[in-house]
Amino acid sequence: MIVVESGEMLNIERTYVRNGLPLASLMEQAGAAVAELATKIIIQNKLKKVTVLCGKGNNGGDGFVTARFLSLMSDVTVIIANEYPATDLGKLNFEIIPDKVNVLSFTEKPEECMNAVNDSEILIDAIYGISFRDVLDPFSAQLISYCNKNTKAVKIAVDTPSGIICNTGEIPDDCFHADYTVSFTTLKPLHVLYPSTDYCGKVSVARIGIPQPLIDGCTYVMKTTDEFVETHPLKERKKSAHKGTNGTLLSVCGSCGMSGAAVLSGMAALRSGVGILRAAVPEGIYPIAASKLTEAVFVPLEQSNDGLISINSFDKLQYEILEKANAILIGCGLGTSGDMAELVSAMISTSNKPVVLDADGINSITMNKDILRQCSAPVILTPHPGEMAVLTGTNVSDIQKNRYGIARDFACEYGVTVILKGANTLIAFPDGNVYVNLTGNNGMAKGGSGDILAGMVASFLAQGMNYDEAAINGVYYHGLAGDKCAEKYSPRTMLPSDMLEELKYILK
């Protein structure tokens, strides 16, 4: 599925109208879609009282249509949040609200409105739509604040929770805290970007009558990974396949005190199907890692006094890269030092095989980012927001405010693929294309989850996938494994190692 910015969505609607199709039909179907979701919730939970908050624009018009449909089965109140409808369609649908619907103006009767909000079992937000670009007006801000305090009500947002800027996901002041958001036609950036995604709840996309050719021909900013995975299924292996034909991965990971990172990434690589895992680790952790990774071939390396791989190991690693490996994973639990920075840069600049840089592999090149341009093979970076902040010389807050732009710009500037981890992980490619992943959950926010992702992506590369296939499949199935674990255990109790078990069932 594509993700479309507000301006392009409005262009699609204008083209729809220029083709002689009625905009009123879109509003009718939009309101019907919201009412359909609300009806399911009403029936499942045996609810009665619904309040619809409406603004002066066409988003308010969607709310009036929703109220009309829901009045057939529920006690419905409509609250005019700031001004009475100002658009032709808004006025039309306001005028045909059934008499049985209680209509209140917050500017005229604030106490009655607050009482209605307090008594409501479902609150539907149709105040501001995707064109919102500023801060909430004082009346809407007060009303929304009161709605958010009603913890018993199920909250549904129409296209977007009011108070969120569509194209960036920013929240200048406050916003409606939705349990569900019904987006129309396509996803918008606010539905997948941080911090707005925290306030959208469960997002669904309703098709409201715009012809598919108009959608296919539009300019989008992102795609979701699920459609790519559906059209690029994992290839079946030949009956004659053997370990050599299934790829060899060189994993340069681990240090004193961080053997677990090398083990988790290695297990993930093996579970993801690589034929041979050659685990290059400091000799000091070799006994620990070997007792856990029994299927790996180990390459014990000389280590420095601080328990890291020694710079003297470069010749041995270069041989492994050039002669043995199909792909290289660098960084999980690797540790950082001046010598390590030199070693990582040397491996990247001389590699003729695809490279995945994770964790300390990324940290080791922050002072020498231009080395990324010297690798003759694809490079994939898998930073979390903190590592991305160090890499770009900014801070985590700035990264989270502009995840899409920062990931895309870095990928384009340095010719690499960036997997920016976090809620709805982004995958930015050197050509400017960006994918957003919708699998995964907050139970994966534990040390070790990133090691598993790095191992999976590197494994897919070693097996011969193109860099885009490896990155997207790795992120998608990593999140799917997390979702299966959350269902089986809970987000609070699940562990990254549980995800390894799930890979046995989802990677077929």
DSSP code, position 425: -
Confidence tier at 458 by pLDDT (50, 70, 90): very high
Residues 76, 95: Cα–Cα separation, whole Å: 16
User: Does 326 score more than 90 pLDDT?
Assistant: yes
Question: What pLDDT is recorded for position 194?
Answer: 86
Please say whether the beta carbons of 140 and 110 come within 8 A.
no
**For the chain, which residues make up each domain, given as ranges?**
2-220, 227-232+244-506
Q: Which of 19-23, 425-429, 440-444, 501-505 has the lowest mean pLDDT?
A: 19-23
User: Does 239 score more than 90 pLDDT?
Assistant: no
Q: Is 307 left (phi over 0), alpha (psi -120 to 50) or beta?
A: left
Query: In the numeric block, which tokens belong to residue 200?
Result: 């959208």
Nearest to 249 by CA among 465, 416, 475: 465
Question: What pLDDT is recorded for position 238?
Answer: 86
Candidate CATH numbers 3.50.7.10, 3.40.1190.20, 3.80.30.20, 3.40.50.11270; the one for domain 227-232+244-506: 3.40.1190.20
Question: What pLDDT is recorded for position 235?
Answer: 87
% of the chain exceeding 90 in pLDDT:
95
* Whole-number average pLDDT of the chain: 96
CATH number corresponding to 2-220: 3.40.50.10260
Residues 156, 62: Cα–Cα separation, whole Å: 13
Report phi then psi at 263, rounded to 5. Answer: -70, -50
Give the mean pLDDT of 424-433: 97
pTM, two decimal places:
0.94
Confidence tier at 237 by pLDDT (50, 70, 90): confident
Q: What is the DSSP string of 87-130?
A: SHHHHHHHHTS-TTSEEEETTT-HHHHHHHHHH-SEEEEES--T
Residues 103, 31: Cα–Cα separation, whole Å: 17
Strand locations in 404-487, DSSP E?
Answer: 417-420, 426-428, 434-436
State in Å, rounded, how far the first CA of the chain is from the last one. 24
Give the mean pLDDT of 487-495: 96
Task: Give the containing element (helix H, strand E) for 75.
Answer: strand 75-80
Please say whether the beta carbons of 321 and 299 come within 8 A.
no
Cα distances (Å, whole numbers) of residue 441 to 164, 198, 206, 222, 494: 22, 12, 23, 20, 11
